[in-house]
Chains A and B, each alone.
Chain A
Amino acid sequence: MSNETTNDAVLALDAKPEKKEAMGIFFWFCLAWIGLNVLVAVFANVLPVADPVNIDFNHYSVLSPPNWSHWFGTDGNSRDIFSRVVWGARSSLYVSISANLIGFVIGGSAGMYSAYRRGKIDLLLSSVSLVFIAFPALIAVIAVLSFWQPGSEIKVIIVLGLTSIPIVYRVIRAATLSAANQDYILAAKVQGATDRRILLRELLPNVAPTGLSFLMLGIASIIGVQGTLAFLGIQQGDAPNWGEMINESRSSLDQSPWLAIFPSIALVLLILSLNFVGDRFRARFDVTEVKI
């Protein structure tokens, strides 16, 4: 039958293996760097590094430049900078990931729900989110944390998490809106799918790539904000973090630049990697008909 042969021809054309766009060596380098930071952050307490907080009086060496026993040098209290940079990764990633989780769980689900439901609830949530976005977030964060002293990590997480909700809401809502208007949502609906199934099984997988790439960018930006807060002295605490280290180095920047250089490099490299990986994810998972 002629139909059969046509089908086979179509199939043969289809059978070509899909060519995947290469991610590039820089992408893998960035991903590896993020992985290294995560590993170091998780295992900071078992790694063979010096105590980052307490002063080692047996090998007292104030402000020594980088050498074999202190790779990144020491600070004014004889604490090892390498160890403090390693522990700083833990603080940065812990605060940033936790704050983003708050933002994504609340803002993301609100965004998906209101984009799917539309109507009054969408109008209300969108207007409220716009009001919050219009107000400069950093000023709000600084104001709240200055009032709610002392600024421990957990308070920073809560405040940064809550302030990230409106913008996460906007991004996820926009992504859901474009997915919800597709025919396959309608098709699922006319096969009798419930709202819950459409949200979780049809929409979530299609919104997830956008969410993931935005999460990367969000983690990067909150690491930066946390650094700012620590630099301004608003976040205090025992655990070292990069912003605080840069802040402490201010007075002796001309004599002992290593105090600022190493935490700055760590900060820049991690944020850069996160941004780059997030950007590539976005480009990669942006499943459109263009590629087909």
Chain B
Amino acid sequence: MSPLLKVTNLRTTFTTARGTLPAVDGVNFELGENEIIGIVGESGSGKTVLSRTIMGLNPRSNINITGSVLIDGNEVVGSSESDLRKLWGSTVSMVFQDPMTSLNPMMRIGKQIDETLRVRLGMKKADAKAAAIELLRKVGIPSPEERYEAYPNQLSGGMRQRVVIAMALACSPRLLLADEPTTGLDVTIQAQILNLLDTVRADGQLSIILVTHDLGVVATRTQRIIVMYAGRVVEIGATADVFHSPRMPYTKALIESTPKISNPSHTVLPTIPGRPPDLYSLADGCAFAPRCSYATDRCRTERPELEASVEDGHSFACWNPLEINQNVSLRTSKGQ
């Protein structure tokens, strides 16, 4: 069976006054039915551009996309907006970062949900309302009949993000892209929203791509993770494998720079020295080499490609991979 999503050699470059900026540079991965995958990386590593390219949502001008994105057999790269519209909502949908701006402030939330149902699924007004209320109930909004009439500014951030998720799920998509869905929320609400996403995935035939910079978010809820750096995939594998034996020093550094509750208080948090590279002038070698303590001359001149690790499906791009099972541990945020 072919996978739900197949990304092949995807490259998204922006043409600007300063030159060509490769925001996503040769990404390959697949996603199966009912799977949840995390994409992690620092700001500017290309996570958001990657997710928007998968949706086909990038601006039309000054952009060059090559490679292929197949969603359920439909090619996204190079498709016209009217073709994409047939996919959007019913096959692939998206939850945006900021619930404060992703709801129309001038429309009652019920209207925002049932309009989609009426226009896309041709439901009658009363049926759409009932379905919208059912969706609100499903995403855990108390007394959905009353909330149906509410305007977005009458809801808290967490409630709004639930409404955004309800909207995204309205036409029962098979793939949901969640671009930092919990960044604007406080931690207790974060956990609720993530649990909600996992529940709806477990309920139906839904696959989720969870884009985040927060390792705690992906650690317990994803089956696989993709680590991105400077627009490239530097490590990919089952979540447990990547966390327990990261092979790429960047992944290890990311994991180590996550606060751990087991550390005594006032422990200085390790940070990654330097800053993300300037994508306009990437050197030939590994993009992480200038910040990497393991870097050798080869790292600076020759770019490593993804190669398989010992575990199934675990690959990394590094000339000097770390030993397997270094004692790296991460306290996850489960049950917060």
Q: Does A287 have its Cβ within 8 Å of any Cβ on chain B?
A: yes
For window 182-215 of chain A, which residues contact chain B by CB distance below 8 Å?
182-184, 186-194, 197, 201-202, 205-206
A7 close to chain B: CB less than 8 A:
yes
A208-248 contact mask (Cβ, 8 Å, vs B): 1 or 0: 00000000000000000000000000000000000000000
**A10 at the A/B interface (Cβ < 8 Å)?**
yes
> Is A6 part of the contact surface with B, judged by Cβ < 8 Å?
yes
8 A Cβ contacts from B137-184 to A: 140-143, 153-156, 158-159, 164, 167-168, 170-171
Contact indicator A18/B85 (Cβ below 8 Å): no
Q: Among the listed A193, A194, A292, which residue makes an inter-chain contact with B153, where contact means beta carbons less than 8 Å apart?
A: A292
How long is the Cα–Cα vector from A187 to B142 in the complex, in angstroms?
23
Q: Does B94 contact A (CB under 8 A)?
A: yes
A42 to B284, CA, bound (A): 77
Q: How far is the CB of B177 from chain A (nearest CB, A)?
A: 9
Q: How far is the CA of A90 from the CA of B217 in the complex (A)?
A: 65
B140 to chain A: closest residue by CB: A7
The A interface is mostly helix, strand or loop, or mixed, namely helix
A58 at interface (Cβ–Cβ under 8 A)? Answer: no
A21 contacts B by Cβ under 8 Å = no
Does B105 sit at the interface, judged by CB under 8 A?
yes
What residues of chain A lie closer than 8 Å to B115, measured between beta carbons? Answer: 193, 197, 201
In this complex, what residue of A is CB-closest to B104?
A: A184
Residue of B nearest to A11 (CB): B142
CB pair B171–A191 under 8 Å, yes or no, is: yes
Given the known interface contacts A10-B158, A191-B93, the answer about A183 and B101 at a Cβ–Cβ threshold of 8 Å is yes
Binds A, one of B55-63, B125-133, B285-293, B312-320: B55-63
* A14 lies within 8 A of B159 (CB): yes
Question: Taking A10-B159, A189-B88 as contacts, is the C-beta distance between A184 and B101 under 8 angstroms?
Answer: yes
Partner of A191, one of B97, B143, B168, B195: B168
Given known A14-B156, A183-B101, A287-B153, contact A192–B140 (CB-CB < 8 A): no
Instruction: Give chain B nearest CB distance to A209 CB in angstroms.
Output: 8
Q: Taking the nearest CB of chain B, how far is it from the CB of A163, in angstroms? A: 31
The reply to whether the CB of B116 lies closer than 8 angstroms to some CB of chain A is yes
A202:B188 contact, CB within 8 angstroms = no
Contact B94 A187 (CB under 8 A): yes
A254 within 8 A of B: no
Query: How far is A188 from B168 in the complex, measured between Cα atoms in Å?
Result: 9
Number of A-B residue pairs at CB separation under 8 A? 101
A190 x B154 contact (CB < 8 A): no
Q: Is the CB of B89 within 8 A of A191?
A: yes
Do the beta carbons of B104 and A192 come within 8 Å of each other?
A: no
Give Cα A205–Cα B93 distance, bound, in whole angstroms: 24
Min distance, Cβ A53 to any Cβ of chain B, angstroms: 46
Determine if B106 is an interface residue (Cβ-Cβ < 8 Å).
yes
In the bound complex, do residue A182 and residue B101 qualify as a contact, i.e. CB atoms below 8 Å apart? yes
Query: Which residues 97-130 of B have a CB within 8 angstroms of A?
Result: 97-98, 100-107, 115-116, 119-120
With A7-B142, A205-B106 as given contacts, are A192 and B57 in contact (CB-CB < 8 Å)?
no
Q: A191-B89, A192-B85 are in contact. Are A14 and B155 (CB under 8 A)?
A: yes
In the complex, per-residue mask of A136-167: 1 if CB is within 8 Å of any chain B CB, else 0: 00000000000000000000000000000000
Q: How far is the CA of A191 from the CA of B116 in the complex (A)?
A: 7
In-complex Cβ contact of A186 among B57, B107, B140, B142 (8 A): B57
Chain B residues near A (Cβ < 8 Å): 55, 57, 60-61, 85-86, 88-90, 92-94, 96-98, 100-107, 115-116, 119-120, 140-143, 153-156, 158-159, 164, 167-168, 170-171, 188, 192, 195
Known: A3-B195, A187-B94, A191-B167. 20 other contacts (CB 8 A): A3-B140, A8-B142, A10-B156, A10-B158, A14-B155, A14-B159, A18-B154, A182-B102, A183-B97, A183-B98, A186-B57, A187-B96, A187-B168, A190-B92, A192-B88, A192-B116, A194-B85, A205-B106, A206-B106, A289-B100
A contacts, CB < 8 Å to B: 3-4, 6-8, 10-11, 13-14, 18, 119, 182-184, 186-194, 197, 201-202, 205-206, 287, 289, 291-292
Query: Can you offer 30 A-B residue contacts whose CB atoms are under 8 A?
Result: A4-B142, A7-B142, A8-B142, A10-B158, A14-B154, A14-B155, A119-B61, A182-B101, A183-B97, A183-B101, A186-B57, A187-B94, A187-B164, A187-B167, A189-B88, A190-B55, A190-B93, A190-B94, A191-B116, A191-B167, A192-B86, A192-B88, A192-B89, A193-B115, A193-B119, A202-B104, A205-B104, A287-B106, A289-B100, A292-B100
